[in-house]
Amino acid sequence: MKNSKLVELLNKMTVEEKVGQLSQISGEPYTSENFVVTGPLAEMGIPDKLIPVAGSVLGAAGAEANRNLQDNYLKKSRLKIPLIFMGDIIHGFKTIFPIPLGIGATWNTYLGQTTARVSAIESAVSGVHVTFSPMVDLVRDPRWGRVLETTGEDKYLNERFAEAFVNGYQGKNYSDPYTIASCVKHFAAYGAPEGGRDYNTVNMSERQLREDYLSSYKAAVDAGTELVMTAFNTIDGIPSTGNKWLLDDVLRKEWGFDGVVISDWGAVKELIPHGVAADEKEAAMKAMNATLDIEMMTFTYIKHLEELINEGKVSEDLLDEAVLRILKLKNKLGLFENPHREADVEKEKELVFCQSHRKKAQQVAEESMVLLKNNDVLPLKEKDQKIALIGPFTRDENMLGAWSWRGEPDTASNIIDSMKEMISPESVLYAEGSTLDHTDENMLDEAKATAKKADVIVLALGESAEMSGEAASVTDIRLPEAQMKLLKQLKALNKPVVTVLFNGRPLDLTEVDKYSDAILEAWYPGTEGGEAVANILLGNTNPSGKLPMSFPQNVGQIPVYYNHFSTGRPVESAPDQKYVSKYLDSSNYPKYAFGYGMSYTTFDYGKMKLSKETMTDNDTIEASITITNNGLYKGKEVVQLYVRDLVGEVVRPKKELKNFKKIELKPGQTETVTFTLSKDMLSYVHPDQKVKTDPGEFEVFIGGNSLVKKAEKFIYKKG
């Protein structure tokens, strides 16, 4: 439909019908033609007048089910404006990929895009039009349960994955088959709550917000995301959902975003407990005047906007602009011509959870896993060796992790069955050993008896899915005591112990390290997690994951992240001195650093070469280095480029990731990797909030993780 037709449609709408388009509810009322209100909507007191005019539904999926909802709704719609269906397809629809923190650990944006593409295919044929993804909140605090949903602590890595996810979901245009619209979230800086406590206060300067936290949302906007979801938290005392500076001045006017802004679940009404609105009417006014378009799962708009407009407290133009943005989104998705879009029962049967999707899920899972330690125990290649698989995650199909939408845990592959398929079943012994958080002496005894019969012990430990995700912040990031007891008692048998971890956040692995000869970080690896772990343990796949987020020595060290400032008393300058920035009881450095991950082979870096030593405004410098695979296995390596601005108008990080390249080398093979450095890569947000590059000296690092020390210097000169 032409946009002019949309304006004609808008002009036919009553105020109530317009406000209805700004409300998102769950789909229960439309499961039958008589719009019966049941479940949470009834308890929440949804006004009857909203049901026939609500513009969108969250959480509904299924080709037949959504076709039915749409038909029932349209039968009673005066102007036949179709519903738009939105949902949380975060790392897969039914074929579940690793959690996004694991996808980030692949450092492979092509794979990132693939996960979104597969998700879009399965969502589109199941009647979903919009996903509340990508979640791009930068994180530095593993106490926060939602770090699992992000791609980590670095803005450059987050930006690249944000683009990849948006492109994977939305494709080139919506006439391509199997595309859905994306909604980047949570705008903004939701990943920086004080104390790592979910929904808590976020406090930072505008300069730091712009420098570190906003760029990944902007990358999604620049990649064309159709929607932005506001965050629960305040920034400098103003909740994002009622923050006009953030939503209108920055997002819409400065960045040119002309799409739809939707609140998070109930976030409009939460302006009241936040303490910036006295009642629902004021909450509606503040959100609307901040240019928030859709109110999710509360009803302040339908209850108060008409009155606010009549009182002149909200302009009807603002209402019309919001409604037009939503009509344009529905029009872009072709819903006026075809309200069912791609919802197709036959296609759903053919494509959802199909073999080729699961194969992709396995590939991503294998590339997501990070080898943190290996004292020559892995891979398990010894002929006829007996392997004791022990721990709550060996059989447990809890491989999917939080936000696994329609993923079914019992459809996930597990380690035992996978290992038995790959090597002779009699080589694989099994005992549960302990539950996730409870020691049972009989289970422990059985595990020790099993382990005694084996040559090597593989322990599958981790967090229950409930221990990470939304509203799952913790103050202790160690494994549960029961699992540590199991590890220690098995290590006392003096056999090699391989610990495989299933978790949604960086953990304090100090004790795990002490009792493990090898540690493989598997995250929540998704539908094919068991298969992927088995392939890596047996050496069929060489691990290549690199950490997208630092693992602290302990919870007291948080926040610890690689791109920190030097301070006026850097510990490196005088490690034995008292009066330097350090702890009395811990190193300053993380246990495992950003960008770190081992391989079964060894990659040796040559000497970096710079094409010149001085850069001016319009030219670039090439930084080259050779990498050689000096080991026995073919392997993938993530070559990382870091830069340091030695003197700035404000203090600058000791390192900043500026590019990376994932290469694959056969044993003995050497490859030269070249990165191009330009002035823009050296820029940062200045105190005047402008993005500029200072002339001066810079250091360049190229290596396999953020601890790389060898650097070359160059100068940038204006002119």
At closest approach, how far in Å is the CB of 58 from ligand GLC? 6
Based on the residue annotation, tell me whether 384 is a catalytic residue of this protein.
no
Q: How far is the CB of 351 from ligand GLC (least distance, A)?
A: 24
Return the structure tokens found at 654. Answer: 């000791």
Q: Which of residues 166-205 bind ligand GLC (CB under 6 A)?
A: 185
Q: Which is nearer to ligand GLC, 88 or 159 (CB)?
A: 88
- Please report how close the Cβ of residue 152 comes to ligand GLC at its closest, in angstroms: 17
Nearer Cβ to ligand GLC (235/641): 235
Report residue 301 CA to chain centroid gap. Answer: 31
Nearer Cβ to ligand GLC (265/336) = 265
Min dist CB 268 to ligand GLC, Å, is 13
Q: Tell me how far CA of residue 241 lies from CA of 138, 263, 265, 267, 470, in angstroms.
A: 19, 6, 11, 7, 18
Q: Where are the beta strands (DSSP E) in 393-444?
A: 428-431
Interface mask (CB under 6 A) for ligand GLC, residues 14-53, using x and -? ----------------------------------------
| Least distance (Å) between residue 185 CB and ligand GLC | 6
Report d(CA 643, CA 684) in Å as an integer: 12
Q: Which is nearer to ligand GLC, 35 or 265 (CB)?
A: 265
Contacts of 148 (CB under 8 A, 6+ apart): 99, 100, 101, 401, 402, 468, 469, 504, 505, 523, 524
User: CB of 132: closest distance to ligand GLC in angstroms?
Assistant: 4
58 or 247, CB closer to ligand GLC? 58
With CB under 6 A as the contact rule, the residue among 35, 255, 265, 589 that binds ligand GLC is 265
Residue 212 is a binding residue for ligand GLC (CB under 6 A): no
Both structure tokens of 474: 């913790």
Q: Which of residues 118-177 bind ligand GLC (CB under 6 A)?
A: 132
Q: Is the dihedral of CA 538, 540, 542, 547 positive or negative?
A: negative
Which residue out of 137, 264, 293, 396 is catalytically annotated? 264
Instruction: Name the packing angle between helices 155-170 and 215-222 (round to 10°).
Output: 30
What character string, x for contact with ligand GLC (CB under 6 A) and - otherwise, covers 455-494?
---------------x------------------------
Q: Judged by CB, which is closer to ligand GLC: 265, or 589? A: 265
Question: Backbone phi, then psi, for 647, in 5-degree steps?
Answer: -140, 120
Question: Which long-range CB contacts under 8 A does 162-165 form with residues at least 24 apart?
Answer: 162/134, 162/136, 162/216, 162/217, 162/219, 162/220, 162/223, 163/109, 163/219, 163/220, 163/222, 163/223, 164/109, 164/110, 164/112, 164/113, 164/116, 165/112, 165/113, 165/115, 165/116, 165/133, 165/134, 165/220
The DSSP line for 31-64 is GSTT----HHHHHTT--GGGGGG--EEES---HH
Ranges of H-type helices in 466-614:
481-491, 510-514, 529-537
- Looking up tokens 């026995």, which residue turns up? 632
Nearest distance from residue 88's CB to ligand GLC, in Å? 5
Please report whether residue 293 would count as binding ligand GLC according to CB under 6 A: no
CB of 402 to ligand GLC, least distance (A): 10
Tell me the per-residue interface mask from 547 to 586 with ligand GLC, x by CB under 6 A, - otherwise: ----------------------------------------
330: part of which helix (H) or strand (E)?
helix 316-332
Preceding peptide of 379 cis, ω within 30°: yes
**Nearest residue (CB) to ligand GLC, 403 versus 684:** 403
Q: How many residues bind ligand GLC (CB under 6 A)?
A: 7
Cβ proximity to ligand GLC, 132 vs 165, nearer residue: 132
Q: What is the dihedral of CA 115, 119, 120, 124, to 10 degrees?
A: 170
Q: Of 159, 212, 264, 367, which one interacts with ligand GLC (CB under 6 A)?
A: 264
Q: Could you tell me what percentage of the chain is helix, strand and coil, using 3-state DSSP and rounding each to the nearest 5?
A: 35, 20, 45
User: Does 88 contact ligand GLC by CB under 6 A?
Assistant: yes
Report the residue number, 266 or 648, with the smaller CB distance to ligand GLC: 266
By the 8 A CB rule, do 153 and 191 touch?
Answer: no
Is 175 strand, coil or helix? coil
CB of 128 to ligand GLC, least distance (A): 13
Strand arrangement, sheet containing 260-262: 260-262, 227-230, 181-187, 130-131, 84-87, 56-58, 23-26, 295-296
Question: Cα(330)–Cα(340) distance, rounded to whole angstroms?
Answer: 12
Q: Which residues bind ligand GLC (CB under 6 A)?
A: 58, 88, 132, 185, 264-265, 470
Q: Would you name the residues annotated as active-site residues?
A: 264
